[in-house]
Structure 1
């Protein structure tokens, strides 16, 4: 059925569905015949080649069959070998169990040998201890210490504990023995060198010192491994103090006993209002003993491989720890009494400063500062600083001599007691906090200083309003001098290392806060910082200073102008010329004005600091130049005599008044100087100049004016000045 369908499908594909294609059936018949012939031909050819192909296939099948049989034999052999190997492995497992047991027994034996070794060392230490052989005893103890150190990473915890306990056992016994002999030697050496023993440091017998140094060597070796030391700490603050070596501990012990005796309990020397007593005692002990310790203990440490220890620093640290313990115990009792608390803080800071700067106590070692920087103590401290600084500032400003000069004869800055005292107050605060290790703590004190500076500026403003009268006779000049000096000093302080570091830390904190608020990362170029911490404060001080300078200058200018009415309204158009009088002299109407100017300049020079006076006379010169030009020159008319008289008043009277204080005063009066030139040039030159200036070319006008010595005045103003001349007819 399938073949029939295939034939029908083949015919349908060839002939299609139209009857017109039936003619192609003949062609299709021929095609099928040709296909049939090809198939028959290929079958006839296959009949001759098939036997050889079949033979090749048969041979290939036989070869494959042979290989399969060989592989089967190999598999059987492998299976047999695997079974034999499994049998042998079972025997090996039994043997491995025996080997493991032997290994375990060997380790156990080694464990027992190790315990026996430790016991032998312990026995030898006991023998050496009983026989008095200290050298062997210390050598054996050092061996035991090395063993303990090597066992730190061992998983045999019981063995580690056993060795540690053994080490501690002999440590305590040897320490007790050596400490007794060590203390006996210290008594012979009359240690410590206090009271009646103060002069005994250089009178020791050689034999005693030799034995003393041997004991120091033994005690240095008598150390527990760091991992086994569990220091007894009575306060969290004391965790910053590293353990002290035994020789130094025994040296400090009698001093500690004396300290506890004198500065605890109901002793008369233990007074809350006298903390300087125990601080001074510690400093005295350090000064009296540290050189002896350095001379006799440090060489021993260096010779036995303990050169990394600084025995001088250790000795000082042990005594400083006494002061820290005492300070820590005193603070809770005095923190509610401002006077006692302030005094205690002062003495603690003085103690720290003496330690660091005079006794060269290393900055890496802890002292009293970190006790004061505990959160609750530090808040109390900085509030107390603010309170006392405010009270001190009140006292400074209310003093009867606050505005007197410190050096009235030689000081161009005219420094007042008020300015000096205020800067001393700021310096004192800086000295008190500059040793604080944390930048954050120092920045809080800096903010206090900046707040005090601003408060001080406001108080000066209040004083100005309370004493407002004639500026030159009021407090204004003294306040001006004070402002100027303080601002100048603050600018100098701002570029010192101390305040530059604080400025850097301040900008860092601000950058971190801004970045945190915005959720951004802190930029890496945060170190590129300009300015100083006092920039804002100095800007406010300079602004107030400028306002007061302008006020004083305006006041003087008004006083001078008040004397000028007669001069301004004088008959400039009808004055005699130089040819008509024997010699020119100052215009009579100008005497009161110039006299007032001279008096006021003299007062300004006497009451103001030199930089301030320079600002004041420049302001005054600018105002007076403008005033004479506008109120005398432009509103009057001048004949030849009037022009000559004005020029004489300016050149021979005005300029010399300012010439007492400056060189070339004429450069500060450009308008009136050039007006005198224009008023006194020859009439013909003046007419030509007027005609030329009426030209609109500005460049030409400037050149023409420069030819007659006029450089600052514009052509328009020059025409107005020429227009005041009565000898020229103006059209």
Structure 2
């Protein structure tokens, strides 16, 4: 019924109307093709069906047999369980059995490990002499086992359980269980034993190869290059390369990168032995008073061996993977171990003789300097503090060294300042600038530089601070005190009350001595300023700042002397450098010396001027009947310098060249422009101009004396515009030499003296500020223009009024107006 229904539905769908009957043949053919395909499939199924059915039946029988077996096994297990003792101790029995099984498994692993170690050890021992490459390979396998065991070891008590596999198992598959410390110790012992065996064999092989090359004499690199196939060279390459393959054993926790190479140790053996033979034994070459001999020997070895080390040896290191290694620096490091060993032996003996100790320290510093600057040595691992650091390894050594350095520096200082020519200038000095150092100052700077060289490379901050505080700063104070004592001696020698018969030194000699003091202090002060800008002292200053940031921190740092704590705090302060306070003290003394020099010159000048100064009346009659005539009289009186003034000029011409020859040019010009010139100007202005009475002729006479005698005759020797040093005097004389009234015949446009007076009277009766620096703001425009037209720029209105009132004509004119 269902089939008929489906057929009916299909026909209705495909033959819905009469027009669709045309497709009936095609539809019938398609149905026939489907029928044939289905018939083929049914035929195939009828053939394979029995086979599959037979297979299903076979699987069913097998499953039934397996089921019967499982049922039988279940019954057996049930009987065993029923027969098993019942109670609370059955789990303990199972755990004990499990523990025994774990122990047995672990014991088997240990046995296997021991067998592997024994096999590899035997392979190393048997192949060391006949096949070194196989021996090294077996040795490397042992190293790998030990490395793996070290990483997997948990260092926990044995509990009979296996360790869980970690990431290290993938990197090191030789082991997968925790190895106890006893086993690690055994492995370490075996590896060290084999290492010594291999190292001994390879060392002998390398020593024979070096001996064939003539070591420890310098090896000719050029010869090796020409004879690349030389059997001796090939033997060295092979032996050195095999030594590079030998890795030193390491205990747990050590870095993978070795600190030393056995091959380099073999290279160092004979040179170090040779050095110790000559310089640490009873040989005549080992002399305490000749430490430079041993240093020279080391430097000579470095020089001779450098081509071989930097060439073939360095190439072999890089060939075998030691790219970051420097053969020369490692070789030097080995030699320096021997040098420092010798120094440690010698220091106790040197401490008994300060002279020898000082000499040894100097030579050690020179040796360190040569290594750094000539051979560019840098320690392969870490910072190299220099061989001189040995002197600070023990506190008592350093303290004694400091005492000796103090004594030596003090003695040299005393010799420097007490020498016959201590304050004589250094001949042919070629330093920077126009400095003129004395012999004592130059030697003193060398003493300070030598002390700096002593402590510059000391590794410990407190040691450097001790040298600075206990040697350099006290010596700087001593030199300054020496100059101060000299000042007292020279000042007291010229006490105003002279005893009868007293022999006083020449004042010129005194001035020259004061100038030498100035030059000495200025030279030292200039050097200290330069030092303050050097990187070493800048870094040192920053160290002082950091180390003294907190008071408690300073206690921990300053271990040599607790007093250094206070010194460090003083050095910190507000100073920009370590020498600011010292430089300030030196500069203050220099200024005092300069004041003394100026004071002496002005005192002598004032005494020489007393006859010239006491003349108040400068009203001079002229052969010309018209005293207001602008023409300058040809009278010899006006064309010659006043005899009384010549004495003062002679004083200046004696003193100024004397101090000029004893001072740097910049210092002399500074004194002349800043001190001497203004004081001369003050003297003339206050003691001569403001106290005298002048007419035009008298003013011209004084102007001639000042201009021709003082300005051009004396000061013009050193400055281009000497009148600028006597500004108030020259401006005052410009006013005093003005004609009273302007003559039409003169043809000049300059205002007359009467014009100036009228402008003064119109300018608020002359009530103006006495501040010369603010004249432009305080004076009337017309008055200032008139004054500037006659060359008056600096004098204030009040001073101008005081000056013009010294003209007798103006005095009479004012009296008539009053």
TM-score of the pair, normalised by structure 1: 0.79
Contact persistence 1:408–1:414 (CA under 8 A): no
Question: Structure 2 vs 1, CA of residues 199 and 330 (structure 1 numbering), >3 Å: closer, same or farther?
Answer: farther
Superposed CA offset, 1:21-74 (max 9, x none): xxxxxxxxxxxxxxxxxxxxxxxxxxxxxxxxxxxxxxxxxxxxxxxxxxxxxx
Question: Structure 2 vs 1, CA of residues 209 and 276 (structure 1 numbering), >3 Å: closer, same or farther?
Answer: same
Aligned twin of 2:508:
472
2:502 is the counterpart of 1:457: no
Cα distance, 1:228 vs structure 2: 7.2
Aligned twin of 2:452:
430
Cα distance, 1:613 vs structure 2: 0.7
Contact persistence 2:612–2:644 (CA under 8 A): yes
Aligned twin of 2:705:
649
1:555 to 562, 576, 600: 600
**Alpha-carbon distance in 1 for matches of 2:632, 2:716:** 30
Cα distance, 1:167 vs structure 2: 0.8
Contact persistence 1:397–1:418 (CA under 8 A): yes
Cα distance, 1:534 vs structure 2: 1.5
Contact persistence 2:361–2:388 (CA under 8 A): no
Q: Which moved more, 1:644-653 or 1:480-489?
A: 644-653
**Alpha-carbon distance in 2 for matches of 1:429, 1:201:** 47
Cα distance, 1:209 vs structure 2: 1.9
Cα distance, 1:579 vs structure 2: 4.4
Q: Secondary structure at the residue paired with 1:727?
A: helix
Question: Structure 2 vs 1, CA of residues 436 and 680 (structure 1 numbering), >3 Å: closer, same or farther?
Answer: same
Contact persistence 2:143–2:249 (CA under 8 A): yes
Contact persistence 1:148–1:160 (CA under 8 A): yes
TM-score of the pair, normalised by structure 2: 0.71
Q: Secondary structure at the residue paired with 1:466?
A: helix
**Alpha-carbon distance in 2 for matches of 1:483, 1:630:** 35
Q: Secondary structure at the residue paired with 1:669?
A: helix
Contact persistence 1:317–1:365 (CA under 8 A): no
Cα distance, 1:649 vs structure 2: 2.4
2:270 is the counterpart of 1:225: no
Cα distance, 1:113 vs structure 2: 0.8
Structure 1 segments unaligned to the other structure (5+ residues): 1-83, 231-241, 518-525
Superposed CA offset, 1:145-183 (max 9, x none): 222222224241121112111112212222222222222
**Alpha-carbon distance in 2 for matches of 1:321, 1:265:** 16
Aligned twin of 1:318:
334
Cα distance, 1:308 vs structure 2: 3.5
Question: Structure 2 vs 1, CA of residues 600 and 360 (structure 1 numbering), >3 Å: closer, same or farther?
Answer: same
Aligned twin of 1:492:
530
**Alpha-carbon distance in 2 for matches of 1:258, 1:514:** 50
Contact persistence 1:594–1:653 (CA under 8 A): yes
Q: Counterparts of 1:133-148 in structure 2 under 5 Å?
A: 133-148=131-146
**Alpha-carbon distance in 1 for matches of 2:554, 2:127:** 67
Question: Structure 2 vs 1, CA of residues 508 and 564 (structure 1 numbering), >3 Å: closer, same or farther?
Answer: same
Length, aligned pairs only: 626
Superposed CA offset, 1:571-619 (max 9, x none): 4023436747326423343222223223322222222211221232131
Q: Counterparts of 1:45-84 in structure 2 under 5 Å?
A: none
**Alpha-carbon distance in 1 for matches of 2:118, 2:234:** 33
Question: Structure 2 vs 1, CA of residues 432 and 515 (structure 1 numbering), >3 Å: closer, same or farther?
Answer: closer
Q: Counterparts of 1:156-555 in structure 2 under 5 Å?
A: 156-193=180-217, 206-227=230-251, 244-362=260-378, 364-365=383-384, 367-374=386-393, 375-407=395-427, 412-447=434-469, 448-467=471-490, 468=493, 469-474=505-510, 475-513=513-551, 531-555=576-600
Question: Structure 2 vs 1, CA of residues 487 and 249 (structure 1 numbering), >3 Å: closer, same or farther?
Answer: same
Question: Structure 2 vs 1, CA of residues 637 and 367 (structure 1 numbering), >3 Å: closer, same or farther?
Answer: closer
Q: Secondary structure at the residue paired with 2:361?
A: helix
2:767 is the counterpart of 1:696: yes
Cα distance, 1:720 vs structure 2: 2.0
Aligned twin of 1:628:
684
CA RMSD of aligned residues (A): 3.1
**Alpha-carbon distance in 1 for matches of 2:632, 2:226:** 106
Contact persistence 2:302–2:332 (CA under 8 A): yes
Aligned twin of 1:660:
717
**Alpha-carbon distance in 2 for matches of 1:705, 1:386:** 70
Contact persistence 1:324–1:367 (CA under 8 A): no
**Alpha-carbon distance in 2 for matches of 1:243, 1:580:** 98
**Alpha-carbon distance in 2 for matches of 1:505, 1:675:** 60
Larger helix proportion, structure 1 or 2?
1
Q: Secondary structure at the residue paired with 1:598?
A: helix
Question: Structure 2 vs 1, CA of residues 672 and 321 (structure 1 numbering), >3 Å: closer, same or farther?
Answer: same
Aligned twin of 1:122:
121
**Alpha-carbon distance in 1 for matches of 2:243, 2:297:** 28
Aligned twin of 2:59:
none
**Alpha-carbon distance in 1 for matches of 2:699, 2:385:** 83
Structure 2 segments unaligned to the other structure (5+ residues): 1-81, 156-179, 494-504, 556-570, 739-751, 770-776
Contact persistence 1:549–1:612 (CA under 8 A): no
**Alpha-carbon distance in 2 for matches of 1:639, 1:367:** 83
**Alpha-carbon distance in 2 for matches of 1:408, 1:628:** 41
Cα distance, 1:96 vs structure 2: 5.5
Contact persistence 1:471–1:477 (CA under 8 A): no
Q: Secondary structure at the residue paired with 2:119?
A: helix
**Alpha-carbon distance in 1 for matches of 2:437, 2:782:** 51
2:694 to 638, 652, 655: 638
Q: Which moved more, 1:469-478 or 1:546-555?
A: 469-478
Contact persistence 1:406–1:417 (CA under 8 A): yes
**Alpha-carbon distance in 2 for matches of 1:267, 1:533:** 47
Question: Structure 2 vs 1, CA of residues 218 and 491 (structure 1 numbering), >3 Å: closer, same or farther?
Answer: same
Contact persistence 2:378–2:384 (CA under 8 A): yes
**Alpha-carbon distance in 2 for matches of 1:381, 1:595:** 58
1:687 to 731, 750, 757: 757
**Alpha-carbon distance in 1 for matches of 2:439, 2:596:** 24
Q: Which moved more, 1:400-409 or 1:374-383?
A: 400-409
2:734 is the counterpart of 1:677: yes
**Alpha-carbon distance in 1 for matches of 2:797, 2:220:** 97
Aligned twin of 1:6:
none
Q: Secondary structure at the residue paired with 2:548?
A: helix
Q: Which moved more, 1:474-483 or 1:594-603?
A: 594-603
Superposed CA offset, 1:331-366 (max 9, x none): 011202111111221222122111111111105245
1:706 to 784, 802, 809: 784
Cα distance, 1:641 vs structure 2: 0.9
